[in-house]
Amino acid sequence: MKSYLQLARHEGNNTLFETVEMAILSSLWGVPLHLHAEGLRGTGKTTIMRAARDIFPPITRIKGCLYNCDPEKPHCPFHKAMSPQEIAEIGSEEIPMPFLEISHSAKIGTIVGSIDLAKITDSANPTAAILPGIIPQAHRGVIFIDEINRLADTSPELTDVLLDVMGTKPGRVQIEETGLPVVEIPVQVSVWAASNPDEEPGPLEETRRQLADRFDMVIDMGRTHDPDSIAEILKLNSHVRMYEKEVSQDYKAMHQKARKELQNIAARYTNLDLPDFLRNYIARIYVKYDLESLRAIEAIQHAALLNCALKRRDTVLVSDITKAFPLALRHRVDSEILTRIMNSAPDSSSSAVKVTSPFESAAPAREPSAAAAAAAAAAAAQEPAPAQAKEKSFMSPVLSFLGIKGEKENHS
């Protein structure tokens, strides 16, 4: 299997690379980010999501805790009542950020948790204890589900579990076993899913709308028709043949560099926030277009912050918001509304935006035509045009070191 940095980036899949990087940063901030990649077979959605593990930074947990208790915020049944001294005595350890898959044949007990048979049959000290399932064990990491549309169709039980896990941030799981009290555990898990909307039973947003809405962002995967990108893929593939057995030292070093960089960004931008006029702008879109769920605009706000941080910028721009629109809205509104919302955004590259002051009365009649939109338009007018601002993500130095052209910024 190819490592994350060996995968070719092109205009059809670049958004997925960017969103998984956003989700990793979000995990470091303690906020789960639920992603759903939709696309035809062969667009590489599962490959990219699985390979993203290569750049997962480590997490620190209480030594041996299967629930990945943060030593500073213990949450599991064993550690949550312990004092800091008691926890310090147990010690801590670094483990890779979890990435666990839910297969279609998995039983609910395996996924949520079940009675710990080893403990209950221990003749020296029989105790009734719970063995955490895949979801609680993925705390502070990622659960991956392939073909989510099919799973949601065939397993309503598991769908209910996912609705609980993704319903709030952090989410929760309930472990129920006959003879034991119900155990409810908070879980901070990002759910990453993939599906092919052209295959049975069709798009998730049409079959299980409530579950579809739980995903913060949906990424539409495409192929590339750009000869340069295709040549790039060829080059990467021929280059890779030399390292088929093992990932080279260069790549290992670069994965390490990317992990460190994500940790640095998480620490540096931990207090990044949206300026009020941008928050008002999003709020007005919510009202004007009668968006069904508040999750949509929460996702827009959060995605804008993540995108801004990954570009190592201290100020959130209108372009951070507009980038988030299709990701947060394409599974929530119909395409006509999405187009209207996209068109309502002040175009940062257009000189047509002549507003100089946020509240100038001669503001162009753009939607939503309110002070917030005018302020957003004014801010956009002051944003550097894309041509001058070839923004690079944190991955650029890593990719260019490896001779990968990679990013296609600002093309949309």
Query: Shortest gap between Cβ of 119 and Zn ion (angstroms)?
Result: 15
Q: What is the DSSP letter of 200?
A: T
List, as one string, the DSSP characters of 18-30. Answer: HHHHHHHHHHHTT
For helices 294-310 and 249-268, the axis angle rounded to 10 degrees is: 120
Residue closer to Zn ion by CB (options 136, 368) is 136
List, as one string, the DSSP characters of 210-254. Answer: HHHHH-SEEEE------HHHHHHHHHHHHHHGGGSSS--HHHHHH
Residue closer to Zn ion by CB (options 7, 76) is 76
Binding mask 250-289 for Zn ion (x = CB under 5 A): ----------------------------------------
Nearest to 25 by CA among 304, 260, 310, 253: 310
Rounded CA separation 151/166 (Å): 16
How far is residue 74 from each of residues 338, 341, 365, measured CA to CA in Å? 42, 42, 52
Query: Shortest gap between Cβ of 357 and Zn ion (angstroms)?
Result: 54
Query: Shortest gap between Cβ of 68 and Zn ion (angstroms)?
Result: 7
- Tokens at residue 319, please? 């372009």
DSSP H helix total and E strand total for the chain = 18, 11
Query: Shortest gap between Cβ of 270 and Zn ion (angstroms)?
Result: 24
Kindly compute the dihedral angle of the four CA atoms of residues 384, 387, 393, 397, in this order, to the nearest 10 degrees. Answer: -130
Residue closer to Zn ion by CB (options 76, 373) is 76
Sites for Zn ion among residues 45-104 (CB under 5 A)? 65, 67, 69, 76, 79
Using CB atoms within 10 Å of the CB of residue 369, give its burial: 0 to 12 exposed, 13 to 18 middle, 19+ buried.
middle
Strands 183-187 and 171-175, by their bridges, are antiparallel
With CB under 5 A as the rule, give the number of residues binding Zn ion. Answer: 5
Residue closer to Zn ion by CB (options 69, 374) is 69
Query: Shortest gap between Cβ of 126 and Zn ion (angstroms)?
Result: 21
Query: Shortest gap between Cβ of 197 and Zn ion (angstroms)?
Result: 39
Verify binding: residue 325, Zn ion, rule CB under 5 A: no
Q: Is 156 helix (H, G, I), strand (E, B) or coil?
A: helix
Residue closer to Zn ion by CB (options 75, 323) is 75
Residue closer to Zn ion by CB (options 132, 346) is 132
Q: Give the angle subtended at the CA of 275 by the CAs of 270 and 278, to the nearest 5°.
A: 120
Q: Which residues pair with 172 in a beta bridge?
A: 186
Residue closer to Zn ion by CB (options 67, 192) is 67
CA 74 to chain centre: 24
Residue closer to Zn ion by CB (options 133, 368) is 133
Binding mask 202-231 for Zn ion (x = CB under 5 A): ------------------------------
Sites for Zn ion among residues 137-166 (CB under 5 A)? none
Query: Shortest gap between Cβ of 135 and Zn ion (angstroms)?
Result: 15
Query: Shortest gap between Cβ of 78 and Zn ion (angstroms)?
Result: 5
Terminal-to-terminal C-alpha distance of the chain: 31
Are 10 and 232 in contact by the 8 Å Cβ rule? The answer is yes
Tell me the torsion sign for CA atoms 303, 34, 253, 63: positive
Residue closer to Zn ion by CB (options 10, 75) is 75
Query: Shortest gap between Cβ of 182 and Zn ion (angstroms)?
Result: 19
Query: Shortest gap between Cβ of 136 and Zn ion (angstroms)?
Result: 10
Residue closer to Zn ion by CB (options 63, 239) is 63
Binding mask 334-353 for Zn ion (x = CB under 5 A): --------------------
Tell me which residues touch Zn ion (CB under 5 A).
65, 67, 69, 76, 79
